[in-house]
Structure 1
Amino acid sequence: MRLLKQLVAVAVVAFAGGALVGAVQGNAFVTLVLGLATAVLAVVVYARVVRWSERRTPVEVAGKGAVPAVGRGLLIGAGMFAAVIVNLAFLGYFRIDGLGSVTGAIGLLGFMAAAAVTEELLFRGVLFRIVEERTGTWIALGLSGLVFGLMHLGNEHASLWGAIAIAVESGGMLAAAYAATRTLWLPIGVHFGWNFAEAGIFSAEVSGNGATHGLLNSVTSGPALLTGGDFGPEASPYAVVFGALLTIVFLWLARRRGNLVPLRRHARAAAAATLSQ
């Protein structure tokens, strides 16, 4: 029940904010303000609903240490996407074709901030965290990652491979980042850094949603198997490999810090019953 309450509360803010941002996308500065406002409001609503439904302090969105954690995440996310672009450029499948749009990048800053915050609150703050309490880290990581990937199937140029890639490189990796730190600020930073670098800097396709207009004009060519095709670089094998490597690093940190939640007894019994059938 608390999972449903928290999902609904954050989803209402996400959809309302998304509708407003979508309605003013022609105005970059209004999009920036509305996007940032949506992000802040979503965190406030999440914190209040957690206090009300769980009778505890939402330490995962505590203000202390938030700025450096988001900053570290930004560097990781942007660096990860830049590594994908460097590999594609080395093969001749990606090139920069002049300067793009500063105002376009400003609008994408607000849009991506709202998307990163609301999606992390929904998928890692609510879904992963509560499922982990009941089943353990490993089942929660796989389940929340799968749901996160499947949610992208509704995008315009979506594909099954693209959804699988998102599930691995983003869903699993971002859940592992939360498990390693027990704060949502690092995965929020990683998510935002990745998305903004992809759209706001390199003007690449984002999760099959179409072309973007960021700081640089870019051209992607070559086999879809390597570039991600219409879905964008997120469906590139390079993105999957880098995301999987970061997932391993975060899970190693989580284990070292004692943050992994073991498989619960009733979850073990259910798994054993399933295997015996």
Structure 2
Amino acid sequence: MRLLLLLVVFGLLTALLSGGTSAMGASVWVLPVGTAAAALGLWAYAVAVRRVEKRTPDEIGRSGAGRDLVRGTLVGAGVFTAVIATIAVFGGYRITGWGSFEAFLAACGLMAVVAVMEELLFRGIFFRIVETVTGTWGALAVSAVFFGALHLVNPNATLWGALAIALEAGLMLGAAYAATRTLWLPIGIHFGWNVTQAGVFGTAVSGSEDAFSGLFSSESTGPTAITGGAFGPEASVFAVVFCGAVTVYLLRSAHRKGRIVPRRR
């Protein structure tokens, strides 16, 4: 019951911090505000875990935090770059000019709070609650479905877009947590992917087609299966394929390290 209360409280906090930061638009002030909001979320999580669960929140411990954050950011950025490059090869994406550095900084600030709060909520709390009952495999499936369903409320949302998010991001980020048993790698992957998507290539993010501009101005044309349509590249089949490959690698790593939790009997 206490964990469920923690889930509800952090759900509201996630909506409040992410929504408030997003409302600032493309102002350069989003960077410090978003960074501060992300830090506040981490502090609140640590306090809540100590008071509610009576334990040390090792999943956001300092040991290896910087390394995993950087590694995750590079992975997220690299995988999305591979996705958008493949879409471009098939004629679905084209850079039309330079965008805005200020918008890039704003995207960094917004995505910092989005990545931190969503990972605290979905992997730090929800995944852990479900895993105690269903084991790792069940937690991966259930948390991915809920993560995908969350995106159905976004502009230009489609069932396929939500399913794609579940298959690529929901599974990949859950696998990143399972492989390391810390939240720093999934936070980094989430941040790197979103910043590269919105802040660099200026594409739609989970249906928010007109919400972002990046370092590049661009246009997307072609079949929805390739470009993702109005939902953005996350609904491209290439995103599902590339993220699926990373998920398999991470799950093999989790299995090799003995970090797969069996289902409760």
TM-score range, shorter chain: over 0.9
Instruction: Confirm or deny that 1:107 pairs with 2:93.
Output: no
Given residue 23 of structure 1, which amino acid in structure 2 is its aligned partner? A
| 2:124 match | 125
Rounded to whole Å, the distance in 1 between the matches of 2:64 and 2:213 is: 33
Given residue 71 of structure 1, which amino acid in structure 2 is its aligned partner? V
| 1:239 match | 239
Larger radius of gyration, structure 1 or 2? Answer: 1
Q: Is the 8 A contact 1:9 1:46 kept in 2?
A: no
Give CA-to-partner distance per residue, 1:132-152, whole Å, 9 cap, x none: 012200011000000000000
SS in 1 for 2:164: helix
Give CA-to-partner distance per residue, 1:132-176, whole Å, 9 cap, x none: 012200011000000000000000100000000000100011000
Residue 17 of structure 1, CA deviation: 1.8
Rounded to whole Å, the distance in 2 between the matches of 1:226 and 1:12 is: 35
Rounded to whole Å, the distance in 2 between the matches of 1:26 and 1:81 is: 22
Give CA-to-partner distance per residue, 1:4-39, whole Å, 9 cap, x none: 22223323332232343233225222x112111111
User: Runs of 5+ in structure 1 lacking a partner?
Assistant: 266-277
| 2:201 match | 202
Given residue 257 of structure 1, which amino acid in structure 2 is its aligned partner? K
Residue 64 of structure 1, CA deviation: 1.7
Q: Is the 8 A contact 1:137 1:262 kept in 2?
A: yes
Rounded to whole Å, the distance in 2 between the matches of 1:247 and 1:241 is: 10
| 1:273 match | none
Rounded to whole Å, the distance in 1 between the matches of 2:5 and 2:87 is: 43
Q: Which aligned pairs between 1:214-233 and structure 2 lie closer than 5 A?
A: 214-233=214-233
Give CA-to-partner distance per residue, 1:68-88, whole Å, 9 cap, x none: 100000010001100111111
| 1:150 match | 149
Q: Is the 8 A contact 1:13 1:38 kept in 2?
A: no
Q: Which aligned pairs between 1:1-277 and structure 2 lie closer than 5 A?
A: 1-29=1-29, 31-211=30-210, 212-265=212-265
Give CA-to-partner distance per residue, 1:168-205, whole Å, 9 cap, x none: 10001100000000000000000000000000000000
Q: Is the 8 A contact 2:3 2:52 kept in 1?
A: no
The two structures have a TM-score, normalised by structure 2, of 0.97
Given residue 22 of structure 2, which amino acid in structure 1 is its aligned partner? G
Q: Is the 8 A contact 1:101 1:214 kept in 2?
A: yes
Rounded to whole Å, the distance in 1 between the matches of 2:25 and 2:120 is: 23
User: Runs of 5+ in structure 2 lacking a partner?
Assistant: none
Given residue 13 of structure 2, which amino acid in structure 1 is its aligned partner? V
Residue 93 of structure 1, CA deviation: 1.4
SS in 2 for 1:95: strand
Rounded to whole Å, the distance in 2 between the matches of 1:10 and 1:43 is: 11
Rounded to whole Å, the distance in 1 between the matches of 2:74 and 2:130 is: 29
Rounded to whole Å, the distance in 1 between the matches of 2:76 and 2:24 is: 27
Q: Is the 8 A contact 1:20 1:34 kept in 2?
A: no
Q: Equivalent pairs: percent with the same residue?
A: 50
Given residue 193 of structure 1, which amino acid in structure 2 is its aligned partner? G
Rounded to whole Å, the distance in 2 between the matches of 1:124 and 1:147 is: 11
Rounded to whole Å, the distance in 1 between the matches of 2:197 and 2:34 is: 17
Rounded to whole Å, the distance in 1 between the matches of 2:160 and 2:11 is: 26
Given residue 59 of structure 1, which amino acid in structure 2 is its aligned partner? D
Rounded to whole Å, the distance in 1 between the matches of 2:250 and 2:123 is: 14
Rounded to whole Å, the distance in 2 between the matches of 1:75 and 1:51 is: 31
Q: Cα distance 1:228–1:19, how it changes in 2: closer, same or farther (>3 A)?
A: closer
Rounded to whole Å, the distance in 2 between the matches of 1:12 and 1:147 is: 16
